[in-house]
Amino acid sequence: MSNGPFYQGGCRCGAVTLMTCHAPLATGHCDCATCREVVGARQRVLLLWPADQLQLATGVDELVSSRIPGGGVAYHCGRCGDSVLAEYPEEALVELGAETIPDVPLEPGSDDTQEALFVRLGHRPIVEP
C-alpha cells in the first residue's frame, strides 16, 4: 500500500459508500447536457480515476444503472436517487461528481490533457470556470 491520500464518499442516504487511496487522474468543470441534468446546475465538477483505483465499500446491491453518452454506464443509488459514479469500461475509467467525494482538493480548471480526456468521454469541459 502507498501512503498516498485517502478519500471517502458516497450518496446522500449513506447506502452506497466508496473510497480511494489515490488522487484523481483528472478533475474538471463540465457544462454538457448530461452533467447539467445530473446536478440541476449550470456546471458540474468531475473527478476521474482509473477503474482499479476506486473501490465501492458498501451498497453495491443498491446501485441502479443507466447508459450515458460517451459509452459509459452511470450508476445511481436506488434509495436516495443520488448519482454515484459512471463507468467507462472501454477506457477503464471511473467518473464521479465532486459532490460524491467532497474532500478531494480541486485544481482550478483543467489542463489540455485532462480536457481531452473528458471530451473523449462525451463531456464539454470548461477550461476557465
For Zn ion, give the closer residue by CB, 3 or 112.
112
In the complex, least distance from residue 28 CB atom to Zn ion, rounded to whole angstroms: 9
In the complex, least distance from residue 75 CB atom to Zn ion, rounded to whole angstroms: 11
Residue corresponding to grid cell 452511470: 74
Distance (Å, whole) CA 68 – CA 34? 8
In the complex, least distance from residue 3 CB atom to Zn ion, rounded to whole angstroms: 31
For Zn ion, give the closer residue by CB, 7 or 95.
95
For Zn ion, give the closer residue by CB, 4 or 57.
57
Backbone torsion region of residue 14, taken as left when φ is above 0, otherwise alpha when ψ lies between -120 and 50, otherwise beta: left
Interface residues with Zn ion (CB under 5 A) are 11, 13, 15, 30, 32, 35, 77, 79-80, 123
CB atoms within 10 A of CB 121: 24
* End-to-end alpha carbon distance in the chain: 35
What is the grid cell recorded at 88? 467507462
